[in-house]
A and B are shown apart, each in its own frame.
Chain A
């Protein structure tokens, strides 16, 4: 799940609630014509009922076509703000507005030669382009334009909306500075041993076996040594986002659906749906249950989907969950497995934050549950990566861990589209195999996470803001209903907007996570230093004072 952090520009991303891609061509047009026909048919009969809407349609096309012919000023290239780009981009493309009705239809009606006008862009692409400005991405953009810095920009926007861990980067950096060069080129010190063919030539797309072994070892270490991972069941991908997408492609056809408990992390919509045509069916979790997963709710959602004619292929859980930070206990995991068995579904367990627990509860991986169950192993798939637990999102390392041979086979072939760069693999093999370093990292990082979590939650408590009891992840899930003007999505977004523009804090509103109850917010604290916490609390206090007097 890549979060986009541009230094200078941020393009808006599709809203999480984007509809599935409509078919191009006739589909959209029909949605206009058929109701029109119905209206006219009531009075004018069949002939008028068909002729009039078609005529309207024809003239609409003509109108649009005429206006598309108007010369538009050449658009400037997407350039980062502040970059020196003295000459205009060579592109003089005349980009007209994206019309709602597809170009191909107008071509048939009006100009068989089709000269001029922009070349077609697919339905999938258009969805990505049109995508609304969801708060999640607006917030990220604000931060990139005006980022807080203790000394250089003390009034800037503080980043609490990105689940990134900066707490222990110094440890990783120190290791790399000492070891990187040899690690990448595998030199034994003497020049003649430099072997670039080792990293330059084609490698297996699903990752070097040594890295799979190192990752398997790391996963075991980071999950408390309670379960071991088999390297030959690992497929490596360039980040966790493609891992999720690949599983989507392998387990479901276009139009099928997955059940996903809400709230879920904002990027899941893009990762799962944007190119696969797969649907997400939200399964609401409630504050009364501490937002934990209820099998009853799953069942209800499954039946509802069936009634709508949707084929459900699987369930996606995240454990530790994002944004709430819950750990799923053994009993729940067993129940989940029973449910999946009963409905013949897959389970994708996103365990990206497994090594970032900070509470007293023990983390239990789906791998541990399934270890002893021979028959159900084929339905369980785990997604992991090094972006969170090792603080290295830039290196792009994602993991698909599956017990299903066929899924592994298919996923392996798909990794040609999303493979990890060889020098980075070499570097990571070295780092992960340094078990002493890894052990130290896990200890120190865990300690820092615990400290930041308790300080931050205590800070919020001072303001009367309660958080759910969270045991993992980089964030806390806070009930901000005391500060909203109304118990509604509107009230929530108003508060979000004040937090961003007045308090200059980028936090993630629950609606971006599809939370069914308004007023909840995710605060990521791992991008802060301890000194920043009182500043954040103070800023919230300031606007909460104003809020109380005005609400």
Chain B
């Protein structure tokens, strides 16, 4: 019989074993349920429908058409010998100039030309997740905090905190004013941090908001800018859904406000953007930091060595995004289709007796099931969520994973499926509500 010798365990770091990756929360548990039993129209019609993933599949055909007609974008063609050589070896953290120009111009288009973007301030990262983490590394030291309005995207707990050691202090928003950020709420969050002896380094907002699916109003943006200037802290505006606003005129970017103020005090403002939502290309891993602060641009560039975008992808997208004809058309049609989907889901939910927050952007709606909770508590919300996932077989995201202070709200994504699937989902909800009312 072999003698068992106990080996000292080779240890791992705190980062490696910490729970901050958050992958054990309900947000991800729902995904698991979907992974184990995914809905398929023909092969698995009773499976779980994924409504917890904010992915945009409504405009794939436009992208396919482009790539088909412009095959030189995806290869190098027999003529461009030097083009390939440069591309294969290109690992410069400045990124391809042509691609940065294309990104800057696309960001301008998405804002209806109401703000200008300088390609030299564009820093490329492999996705907005990396961009948010990078900015956090740059703006805050371990133990410092960022103020983030609730409800917020569950991934922030991981992206902003895990490796950086930075904390999130919530800015509480509630349904009394449609979850808008107010100056008293900002001040309260700041004071809360101060009372815990935590240094606040900045405010991070998402505009349009995830999970609310609504744009931030101009007056609120002005208030936030005034607040961060007063406190001498940073403002990060995550605008990854800016191209998914149903009507172009309703989105105000912080860039516009800065332009109106002639860029006074702008060196504290940084914008995060990505092609994952607006262009439906999350697999490409394309994110960007746009900063009005030279030091931040320089540092972010150098740090982006850890998260560069493949030169081949930059090359491919540079030509696509520079094609103004294509991008204008895409933005317009994408908006229309998203609005149509939104109307469809709102109508469907209304006929089932469910109200949603008035939204105007994004790939999801913010659904109010608080009247139907057994108990108006987090437990009540999770119980209802459990039924949604396991009985109704819909993966939706509970407000508590978004740190919403009021129980009963849920985020429901509608752009990552076909219209038929959405019909099926709405029907299931309808039946569930009917059953619930008769109980």
Contacts and interface: CB of A to CB of B under 8 A. Distances in A.
Q: How large is the interface on A (under 10, 10 to 19, 20 to 34, 35 or more residues)?
A: 35 or more
Contacts of B191: none
Contact of A122 (B137, B266, B284): B137
Given A6-B94, A185-B74, A421 B285 contact: yes
Interface stretch (A34-42, A77-85, A455-463, A514-522): A77-85
A406 B81 CA distance: 45
B332 interface: no
A421 B126 contact: yes
Interface in B270-313: 280-286, 292-299, 301-303, 305-313
B10 interface: yes
A77 B282 contact: no
A191 interface: yes
Interface in B26-76: 53, 55, 57, 60, 63-64, 67-68, 71, 74-76
A379 B280 CA distance: 40
Given A121-B295, A423-B312, A410 B17 contact: yes
Contacts of B307: 238, 242, 417-418
Interface residues of B, number: 102
B305 A424 contact: no
Interface string A400-411: 000010110010
A502 to B, nearest CB: 27
Contacts of B118: 77, 85, 89-91
Contacts of B308: 2, 238-239, 396
A440 interface: no
B140 interface: yes
Interface in B233-261: 233-234, 258-259
Contacts of B232: 107, 114-117, 119-120
Interface stretch (A55-63, A173-181, A319-327, A468-476): A173-181
Nearest to B229: A115
B294 A80 contact: no
Interface stretch (B84-92, B335-343, B367-375, B386-394): B84-92
A185 B74 CA distance: 9
Contacts of B202: 119
A15 B331 CA distance: 45
Contact of A421 (B91, B231, B310): B310
B78 interface: yes
A234 B60 CA distance: 31
Contacts of A115: 229-230, 232
Interface in A247-298: 249-254, 256, 270, 274-275
Nearest to B299: A125
A395 B311 contact: yes
B268 A414 contact: no
Interface in A1-42: 2-7, 9, 11, 13, 23-25
B361 to A, nearest CB: 20
B234 A119 contact: yes
Contacts of A93: 263, 266-267, 292-294
A151 interface: no
B163 A414 contact: yes
B312 A11 contact: no
A394 B283 contact: no
Contacts, number: 328
A237 to B, nearest CB: 9
A128 B299 contact: yes
Contacts of B137: 122, 124-125, 275
Contacts of B67: 185, 194, 196
Contact of B116 (A90, A104, A203, A393): A90
B233 to A, nearest CB: 6
B434 interface: no
Contact of A196 (B64, B94, B297): B64
A184 B72 CA distance: 12
Contact of B284 (A98, A166, A200, A345): A200
Contacts of B306: 238-239, 241-242, 245, 275, 417-418
Nearest to A375: B7
Contact of A92 (B12, B262, B311): B262
A202 B138 CA distance: 27
A172 interface: yes
A423 B74 contact: yes
A159 B133 CA distance: 35
A118 interface: yes
A348 interface: no
B9 to A, nearest CB: 8
B92 A250 contact: no
B172 interface: no
B313 A201 contact: no
B97 A83 contact: yes
B97 A120 contact: no
B230 A78 contact: no
B13 interface: yes
Nearest to A123: B141
B89 A394 contact: yes
Contacts of A24: 141
Identify the interface centre among B11, B137, B264: most chain A CB within 10 Å of its CB.
Answer: B11
A474 to B, nearest CB: 13
Interface string B326-363: 00000000000000000000000000000000000000
A91 B138 contact: no
Identify the interface centre among A92, A113, A184, A416: most chain B CB within 10 Å of its CB.
Answer: A416
Contacts of A5: 89-92
Contacts of B81: 173
Contact of B89 (A79, A200, A393): A393
Contacts of A427: 312
A4 B308 CA distance: 12
A399 to B, nearest CB: 15
Contacts of B312: 394-395, 421, 423-424, 427
A422 interface: yes
Given A9-B94, A394-B311, A417-B307, A122 B139 contact: yes
Given A95-B267, A391-B88, 15 more contacts: A5-B91, A13-B302, A89-B120, A119-B139, A119-B293, A125-B295, A177-B76, A191-B68, A249-B163, A250-B13, A251-B13, A344-B11, A387-B91, A421-B286, A423-B74
25 contacts: A5-B89, A6-B92, A24-B141, A78-B297, A80-B97, A90-B116, A94-B267, A95-B294, A119-B139, A120-B139, A122-B138, A128-B302, A129-B295, A169-B88, A180-B74, A197-B57, A202-B283, A239-B91, A250-B12, A275-B306, A345-B10, A393-B90, A413-B21, A421-B284, A424-B310
The 10 closest A-B pairs by CB, nearest first: A93-B267, A394-B311, A422-B283, A180-B75, A410-B16, A114-B232, A119-B268, A424-B310, A421-B313, A421-B310
Interface of A: 2-7, 9, 11, 13, 23-25, 75, 77-80, 83, 85, 89-95, 98, 104, 107, 113-125, 128-129, 164, 166, 169, 172-173, 176-177, 180-181, 184-185, 191, 194, 196-197, 199-203, 238-239, 241-242, 245, 249-254, 256, 270, 274-275, 313, 344-346, 375, 378-379, 387, 391-396, 404, 406-407, 410, 413-414, 416-424, 427
Interface of B: 7-8, 10-17, 21, 23, 53, 55, 57, 60, 63-64, 67-68, 71, 74-78, 81, 84-85, 87-94, 97, 116, 118, 120-121, 126-127, 129-130, 133, 137-142, 144, 159, 163, 165, 199, 201-202, 229-234, 258-259, 262-264, 266-268, 280-286, 292-299, 301-303, 305-313, 316
